[in-house]
Chains A and B, each alone.
Chain A
């Protein structure tokens, strides 16, 4: 397993995340609705709004997963935040970076992952809006565009520029 890399600007990224004062806060409907919509739109068993803290990923909104956090080192989202484009793993069992990952060989038995990085207006990548499936699956350009648009809605809410996802 390849542990999630630590980006060079991680301290500044963590500072931007903490300034949002959102870690360990209760669920909020404006985020829950985006994640619910993403899970429904893509028929995905798991959808998450994941924020990457120093040593963990914490879920501000989640569908299909009981736990509210996992270790950062084993997180797929930890890989996704080192780039600004969507990060996709078609079949984790066939990907050397993830084949023996505890989240792949054990619950929730991830096979497919795609994460849209949450790039804040200042440029910090604080987490992802991501979809997970227990089966490999295809995700075409239209799907990617829709996920990117949903990610933009989430970023607007995080940045205080949203409309409450009413």
Chain B
């Protein structure tokens, strides 16, 4: 994976919770971590991925499986977006099945709830760094 999120890079943040999403995106911009585009759902994110290229994706894993399906489509080259974009995820919980699935999809980082804004920013900062699936 050679792509990397830089201060001039564009990150797609998929997070349904408004206060978290807006706070993280504002902070990331203020800190010069990335130019963050917000999406409230995997469906909205899919449209944005179709319209423009991103240097990183941070996506909340939902219970309905829509987020995992979007990641699968990206990796399979079905999202009209470069398939090798670095992807990190947030989740309420992680069992062995989810961990294996995320690893298969080359999701480089996983942040488990309850997480803080600071943790999200650390993930954004590190999103471009190569590494295996890890929990924070």
Contacts and interface: CB of A to CB of B under 8 A. Distances in A.
Q: What 8 A-B pairs are tightest by C-beta distance, nearest first?
A: A37-B19, A166-B18, A149-B26, A149-B23, A146-B117, A165-B18, A33-B19, A41-B116
A75 B110 CA distance: 42
Interface in B12-61: 18-20, 22-23, 26-27, 30
Nearest to A164: B18
B23 A146 contact: yes
Interface string A134-154: 000000001001100110110
B19 A34 contact: yes
Contacts of A146: 23, 27, 117-118
Interface residues of A, number: 16
Contacts of A142: 118
Interface residues of B, dominant DSSP: helix
A9 interface: no
B63 to A, nearest CB: 18
Interface of A: 33-34, 37, 40-41, 142, 145-146, 149-150, 152-153, 163-166
Given A145-B27, A145-B30, A150 B118 contact: no
Contacts of A152: 26
Nearest to B23: A149
Contact of B114 (A40, A153, A163, A166): A40
Interface residues of B, number: 12
Contacts of A40: 114
Contacts of B18: 33, 163-166
Contact of B27 (A33, A149, A163): A149
Contacts of A33: 18-19
30 contacts: A33-B18, A33-B19, A34-B19, A37-B19, A37-B20, A37-B23, A40-B114, A41-B116, A41-B117, A142-B118, A145-B27, A145-B30, A146-B23, A146-B117, A149-B22, A149-B23, A149-B26, A149-B27, A149-B30, A150-B19, A150-B23, A152-B26, A153-B19, A153-B22, A153-B23, A163-B18, A164-B18, A165-B18, A165-B19, A166-B18
A79 to B, nearest CB: 26
A163 B26 CA distance: 15
A61 B49 CA distance: 37
Interface in B105-129: 114, 116-118
B81 to A, nearest CB: 26
Nearest to B30: A145
A76 B117 CA distance: 26
Given A142-B118, A145-B30, A149-B30, 13 more contacts: A34-B19, A37-B20, A41-B116, A41-B117, A145-B27, A146-B27, A146-B118, A149-B22, A150-B19, A153-B19, A163-B22, A164-B18, A165-B18
